[in-house]
Chains A and B, each alone.
Chain A
Amino acid sequence: MVSIKKSVGYIKKSKLHKQDSQLHFLTKLFKSSIVIILFLFIWEFAPKLGIVEATFLPPFSDVVNAWWELIKSGELWFHFKSSILRSLFGFLLALAIAIPLGLIIGWYPLMRDLLTPILELFRNTAALALLPVFILILGIGELSKVSIILFACTWPVLLNTISAVKNVDPLLIKSARSMNISSIKLFYKVILPASVPTIFTGVRMAGTGAILVLIAAEMVGAKAGLGYFITYTQYNFLIPEMYAGILTISILGLIINYGLSSIENYFSRWKQ
């Protein structure tokens, strides 16, 4: 209600105000994009002016051309698809396992005290260090790749969920308990919503981790995927195509991060 009234009031305000806010928007856009534009500018002209070797760092326009060709031929989409499917599958599987498990472990102090040290150990074991083990046991197919993403995503989500449940304000629990609500209701009406923001911090960490591990895993042993594509183009000296692949990964990372933070904002909209 209030927000509707607010926006109606906003529309009614004078044209001058509207221009003001347009100007403000343009300033903001300029501030956030100027350095990127500068960066691309240098990328374009440094090779062209012979400051760097154009064979190893082709001008940005060449990379964009290569990128466009790859999109048209559908080759990039093929690799992009297999990458995103792997990471999504591993990532979602990790959430499905780690969030419920974390809620349970966090709820029982004894379990928490027993398990947290070993979980910390796992979390701090770089997933990539275990890649040979995964390949050894699970082969070089999809299973090993999804598994290592699952492994990498599980720990941050699990540990954050545990600490979220542990750190729910005891006064809120006391307040709810004084209203004589059952343990089950206490759990999903108080503990769960209070934990959401901290759980989401873990989810976002997992999202970043998923891409990192995925690319590395694909570089080592795969027949498709962006990581594979980058190493393949490097071996075949298709340098503009290689940069196109790297650029795609950057964009993929940005999309995932933006998507997750939007979801996070939606679920934490009650916070300051």
Chain B
Amino acid sequence: MEKIKFERVTKKFLIRDDQKKGALREFTAIQDIDFSVKEGEFITLVGPSGCGKSTLLDLLMGLSRPTKGRILIDGREIDGPGLDRGIVFQQYALFPWKTARGNIEFGLEAKGIPKSEWKERADHYLDLVGLKKFADRYPHELSGGMKQRVAIARSLAFNPEVLVMDEPFAALDAQTRETLQAELLRIWEKTGKTILFVTHGIDEAVYLGQRVVVLTANPGTVKKIVDIPLKNWLEDADIKSNPKFVEARHEVWSLLHESEFIGANI
């Protein structure tokens, strides 16, 4: 079943013109983005800088409106922010004056969940991300990886239909990133959420996604959607050496570098 559907989504902005002083010109951030995400699917988006991924996520989160086209969730057009979607940002975006638990409860309160259920829910999701012992720590007392776990728990706790992740592991060191990637897959299996994950990393995109949407830049369009034929992420410890992984990785790599090459010649 289709969970999210992008229907020829285009977003244009007015920006300052570099040639003519004081003048504005139209800038197309994304053009005719058209694809859908299945219920319970883990889809990754990968693209060069300027592929309009922030724009696309803002549209999906309902923080801005498309110039043309529309985005549907369960067949309903998005008309603003909503708790059917949860987002995890690269820079965690935790409220520094709230503890790990407080941050999770913030989302629960926003969703209107009765206060009596907060503790149980917060505990459950802190446990899910392995931070039960750190419930009463403030963000500055947590490492980068732990902060991102709290952010994931916060987004999952209000039980959104779709989890949107905006380069969530880009600021972490390689070791922590790998751990969190595996854990995210485990959480995805456990919760069955639809996840839309944006990244710069080709390896990350191929490792996590069931499908990888390759975007091009200026304006952002979908170049190709690559199917990843891997099934046993969590069983195969060294899946990145699997020939299928290598092949898929190479395909995504070629697609990205092709567009860079074309871009350089304009």
Shortest Cβ gap from A177 to chain B (Å): 6
Q: Which residues of A contact B11 (CB under 8 A)?
A: none
Q: Which residues of B contact A181 (CB under 8 A)?
A: 110
Using A1-B136, A270-B138, A271-B140 as known contacts, say yes or no to A178 and B96 having CB atoms under 8 A apart.
no
Q: Are B96 and A271 in contact (CB under 8 A)?
A: yes
**Residue A175 interfacial (CB < 8 Å):** yes
User: Main SS of chain A's interface residues?
Assistant: helix
CB 8 Å contact bits of A102-138 with B (1 = contact, 0 = none): 0000000000000000000000000000000000000
Interface segment, one of B81-89, B174-182, B256-264: B81-89
Q: Are B63 and A270 in contact (CB under 8 A)?
A: no
Q: Which residues of B contact A2 (CB under 8 A)?
A: 136-137
| Total A-B pairs, Cβ < 8 A | 57
Tally of contact residues, A, Cβ under 8 A:
22
Q: Are A179 and B96 in contact (CB under 8 A)?
A: no
Contact of A175 among B85, B89, B137 (CB under 8 A): B89
User: Main SS of chain B's interface residues?
Assistant: loop
Give the CA-CA distance A271 to B81 in the complex, in Å. 30
Q: Are A270 and B97 in contact (CB under 8 A)?
A: yes
* Residue of A169, A193, A270 contacting most chain B CB atoms (<10 Å): A270
Q: Are A174 and B93 in contact (CB under 8 A)?
A: yes
Give the CA-CA distance A262 to B78 in the complex, in Å. 48
Give the CA-CA distance A210 to B131 in the complex, in Å. 47
Give the CA-CA distance A194 to B94 in the complex, in Å. 11
Give the CA-CA distance A189 to B102 in the complex, in Å. 12
Contact residues, A219-272 vs B (CB, 8 A): 270-272
CB 8 Å contact bits of A34-75 with B (1 = contact, 0 = none): 000000000000000000000000000000000000000000
Q: Which residues of B contact A1 (CB under 8 A)?
A: 136
Shortest Cβ gap from A197 to chain B (Å): 9
Q: Are A193 and B81 in contact (CB under 8 A)?
A: no
**Residue B107 interfacial (CB < 8 Å):** yes
Contact residues, A155-210 vs B (CB, 8 A): 169, 171-172, 174-181, 185, 189-190, 193-194, 196
Give the CA-CA distance A249 to B98 in the complex, in Å. 39
Using A178-B61, A180-B80 as known contacts, say yes or no to A270 and B98 having CB atoms under 8 A apart.
yes
Q: Which residues of B contact A196 (CB under 8 A)?
A: 97
Q: Which residues of A contact B106 (CB under 8 A)?
A: 176, 179, 189
